[in-house]
Amino acid sequence: MKSSTKDRLFLAMLLGPTIVLVLAVVAYPFFENVRISLSNMNIYHISDWEVIGFQQYIAVLSEPQFWEILIKTLVWTAVNIIFHVSIGVFLAVLLNQKFVAGKSAWRVLLILPWALPQYITALTWRGMFNYEYGAINLITAKYLNLPAVEWLTSPLEAFMAVILTNVWLGFPFMMVVALGALQSIPGELYEAADVDGASSWSQFWNITAPLLKPAMIPAITLSIVWTFNNINVVWLVSNGGEPNDQTHILVSFVYEAAFSMYRFGWAAALSMIIFVILFTFTQLFLNRTKATESVY
């Protein structure tokens, strides 16, 4: 056997299991979902379903609730990411300063929300948002003399409650990524800037921010996709979209359609639309920011 054939065979043996695994757990479910999205699969046709074309896509796009929830999902994602990044970077810069004592302890403390299981954190926050007995209303009433807020029963406040919980859960990830990137910035750059008389603000914008970008852009992209699809927090804090399905984001809406209403075809079509939105966004964002280029 020729050496080049041997090498190819060797490569195929190494890659084979991975390819089979990816086909089984990514490609097959994806194409099966495409097939279901083109079908009438629902509770009345679960085993005798048939392909009906793009009717489910038309039904999703002509559903007014879809557009309301899409806007809500965009707001949810944008607000969360803004807070995750700004709080995360702020804390990372702070922890990177020489004058901060007990850095390890602070780091552990700040990573804690991320380290705890989401399930526990979400349900704890739900308890804290209770109108009469929740810690938030009790504290704001006692120390700030503010009136109690109906966090879980009024649509706007409930949505704010879900966002607050997710901000709490999400900033440590950004902080860890930013801290790692900050520690790899050579100290000489700041020393040179000091010699040139640059202010701290100027150093941040001209040294820190550009050198954080290669680490932060992929992290932000990932975080946007995670947040857009974060069913756990929304579902647990709002108890499945309460009140009156007003706190749904697209992914929880898909879950409800599939497993509460058994509208499998419709839910599959909606999930394909979510995929297209996220895929398009990710491509545009990565191309525009040239984040992958700067890695190489």
Partner 1 sequence: MYRQLCKVLLFCLVVTGCFLGCEEPDERVHVRIWHQKIGAERVFFERAVDIYNDSHPDRHVEILYKETEELRNLFIVASAGGQGPELIYSPADNLSIFALTKTIRPISDALSPDYLSIFGSDGVLSWEGDQLMVADQVGNHLTLVYNKALIPEPPTRFDELITLLQELTVDEDGDGRIDRYGLTWNYTEPFFFMPFLTGFGGWMMDEDGNPTLNTPETIQAIQFILDLRDKYKVIPRESDYNIAETLFKEQRAAAIINGPWAWGGYADAGIDYGLARIPRIAETGNWSRPLVASKGYSLNANVEEEKLPYIRDVLEYLTNAEIQAQMAKEISSIPTIPSVREDSVIQGNPILRSSLNQVEVGLPMPIEPQMRQIWDGMRGAYQLIMNGSTTAAEGAEKMQKDAEKRIADTFL
Query: Residue 130 interacts with partner 1 (CB under 8 A)?
Result: yes
Q: Does 6 bind partner 1 (CB under 8 A)?
A: yes
Q: Which of residues 29-48 bind partner 1 (CB under 8 A)?
A: 40, 42-44, 46-47
Do 258 and 264 touch, CB atoms closer than 8 A?
Answer: yes
The nearest distance, CB 105 to partner 1, in angstroms, is 34
Query: Can you tell me which of 2, 4, 13, 97 binds partner 1, judged by CB under 8 A?
Result: 13
Alpha-helical (H) ranges within 23-154 are 28-37, 55-61, 64-95, 103-115, 118-128, 135-144
Among 34, 70, 90, 150, binds partner 1 (CB under 8 A): 150
130 is written with which tokens? 């209770």
Shortest CA distance to 253 belongs to which of 276, 229, 285? Answer: 229
Window 236-265: contact mask with partner 1 (x via CB under 8 A): ---x--xxxx-------------xxxxx-x
Give the nearer residue to partner 1 in terms of CB position, either 60 or 176. Answer: 60
Angle between the 64-95 and 155-183 helix axes, to the nearest 10 degrees? 40
Rounded least distance, CB 152 to partner 1, Å: 7
Q: What's the CA gap between 70 and 130, in Å, rounded?
A: 27
Q: Is 205 in the site for partner 1 (CB under 8 A)?
A: no
Closest separation between CB of residue 78 and partner 1, Å? 26
Is position 223 an interface residue for partner 1 (rule: CB under 8 A)?
A: no
**Which CB, 239 or 292, lies closer to partner 1?**
239
Q: Residue 8 interacts with partner 1 (CB under 8 A)?
A: no
Q: Does 153 bind partner 1 (CB under 8 A)?
A: yes
Evaluate the CA torsion angle 243, 239, 117, 258 in order and state its sign: negative
The least distance separating partner 1 from the CB of residue 279, rounded to whole angstroms, comes to 26
Look at residue 201 and give its three-state secondary structure.
helix
Q: Measured from the CB atom, is 7 or 194 closer to partner 1?
A: 7
By beta-carbon proximity to partner 1, the closer residue of 113 and 155 is 155
How many residues at the interface with partner 1, by CB under 8 A? 35
* Cβ 137 to partner 1 shortest distance, Å: 10
Residues whose CB falls within 8 Å of the CB of residue 51, separated by 6 or more in sequence, listed in order: 35, 38, 39
Nearer of residues 177 and 269 to partner 1, judged by Cβ:
269
Residue 14, Cα to own-chain centre: how many angstroms?
33
Helix, coil or strand: residue 184: coil
**How many whole angstroms separate alpha carbon 35 and alpha carbon 39?**
7
- Residue in this structure with the two tokens 């009717």, named with its chain if needed: 55
We find the least distance from the C-beta atom of residue 223 to partner 1, in angstroms, to be 29
Q: Are 221 and 285 in contact (CB under 8 A)?
A: yes
Residue 191 near residue 269 (C-beta atoms within 8 A): no
Residues numbered 59-88 forming contacts with partner 1, rule: CB under 8 A? 59
Do 77 and 228 form a contact (C-beta atoms < 8 A)? yes
Give, for 281, the enclosing helix (H) or strand (E). helix 264-289
Find the shortest distance in angstroms from Cβ 184 to partner 1.
35
- Which parts of this chain interact with partner 1 (CB under 8 A)? 6, 9-10, 13, 40, 42-44, 46-47, 55-56, 59, 127, 130-133, 150, 152-155, 239, 242-245, 259-263, 265-266
